[in-house]
Amino acid sequence: MSHVFPRHTKANPPIAVAGQGCYIFDSTGKKYFDGSGGAAVSCLGHGDPDVTEAIKGQIDKIAFAHTGFFTSEPAEELADMLTRHAPEGLDRVYFVSGGSEAMEAALKLARQYYLEKGDTKRHRVIARRQSYHGNTLGALATGGNLWRREPFAPMMIQTSHIAPCYEYRGREDGETAFEYGQRVANELEAEIQRLGPENVMAFVAEPVVGATAGAVPPVEGYFKRIREICTAHGVLLILDEVMCGMGRTGSLFACEQDGVTADILCIAKGLGAGYQPIGAMLCSHDIYEAIENGSGFFQHGHTYIGHPTACAAALAVLKKLTGEIGQRVTPMGEKLDASLRDTFGQHEYVGDIRGCGLFRGIEIVEDRSTKQPFDPKRGINKALKRAAFEAGLACYPMGGTIDGVQGDHILLAPPFIMTGQQIDEITDKLSTAFRAVFKS
Ligand code: PMP
């Protein structure tokens, strides 16, 4: 009997025993293409010798030193490199162990920032209905997924949710993409007015929506308008790039492509590329200075913040992401997109194919003309995941549970080292899964 508490108590997952490049091998010798890099984590694939060496080298020197006493060389070097590449103004980095921790830190930093400035009223957070920001209570309250939130709702901080920027379903007839983006961005203005600007602390969004919707990019101009509204009302813009950051969409930070910068920006997943658990929160000079000139102490912390071994791994990862490997994302992403469109573009149950870089989503619908999703009880997402896994492809399929108005989707986030031939392998295996699920 296994003593591990698994996510799905009735499932019996294979035992992963080895990883090489884009593949994971289980204890029976079966080989799986890691089509979603876990959950958009393994951007460098498995068994990268440089990252492994960096980890070994750091452990040989010192594996861990507590930040209550020390900083470390890899943490300093990593923070220096991240801020050199970060969007304008983000010049301080707070290291944590994952995405939810980064989001919790962001929410608390935002609150403390206003307190340091003597602005005690601001505490309300606005986010979007189509979003996931983590599973700890603050991050969960920020996210908009009803199914995830519901059991824990009585324990949550108060948040409000506006419409996402979801062109496939939201854009109305006769409206341009730009007009649509402005209209939904303006929901933020309305919500700030409703709550009273003096009460609003932050607006939180993923630049490209990941887990809840399958790689939904914003339309042009949307985030510029969001930035304008936040700035006008002194509301902090917190961008959650936990999934879409670290080169995944074709630029190191996804918001670079929208021409905006955040006040606080969170990253994780691709930062450690799965070699070590690490996340980070970057913040503006203004925020850091308010705390430095105020109490001088960010009232937060975890045992493993700034973990030297995790930082050493992330530094080795970042060196690769800012080099040749990072540059593969845009051209390989275009090839993957073309291959998905060739194979599934006309499929009876495919409503939308979307995304950017190596972050691609397919939305499944029962009726292409009305965009009617399948009844969630049919469990199309689970069936597709199972069938793809059977065919040797691990991909990330989630259900259409957001306000009941979106279809099941598949998220692809393969390693950046993937070859053209392996793109065919993904589409072939996915086709096998589609045939297995839709023939019945
Ligand atoms: N934000 C986003 C956008 C995510 O996709 C995730 C993880 N799927 C998180 C936050 C939470 O990260 P973690 O699971 O590392 O806590």
CATH number of the domain within which 309 lies: 3.40.640.10
pLDDT at residue 403 in the model? 60
Atom of ligand 1 nearest to the CA of 139: 10
Distance 249 CA to ligand 1 centre (A): 16
Tens digits of residue pLDDT in 293-316: 999 999 999 999 999 999 999 999
Question: Could you give the CA distance from residue 404 to residue 396 in angstroms, rounded to a whole number?
Answer: 19
Q: State which of 324, 339, 366 marks the end of a domain.
A: 324
Q: Please give the residue range of the domain that contains residue 42.
A: 16-47+328-438
Protein residue whose Cα sits closest to atom 5 of ligand 1: 243
Distance 128 CA to ligand 1 centre (A): 15
Q: Are residues 419 and 271 part of one domain?
A: no
Binding pocket residue ranges, ligand 1, CB within 6 Å: 39, 98-100, 103, 132-134, 206, 210-211, 240, 242-243, 268
pLDDT at residue 19 in the model? 98
Read off the CATH number of the domain in which 434 is found: 3.90.1150.10
Characterise 174 by phi-psi region: left (phi > 0), alpha (psi -120 to 50), beta (else).
left
Distance 243 CA to ligand 1 centre (A): 6
Query: Does the predicted TM-score (pTM) go above 0.95?
Result: yes
Domain count, the chain: 2
Looking only at the bridges linking them, the beta strands covering 279-284 and 90-96 are antiparallel
Atom of ligand 1 nearest to the CA of 206: 3
Quick check: is 4 in a domain?
no
Distance 133 CA to ligand 1 centre (A): 6
Name which residue leads in pLDDT, 243 or 403. Answer: 243
Tens digits of residue pLDDT in 139-190: 999 999 888 999 999 999 999 999 999 999 999 999 999 999 999 999 999 9
Q: Are residues 370 and 406 part of one domain?
A: yes
From 7, 36, 97, 100, give the residue whose CB has the most ligand 1 atoms within 8 Å, as the site to mutate: 100
ipTM of the complex, rounded to two decimals: 0.99
Q: Are residues 422 and 342 part of one domain?
A: yes
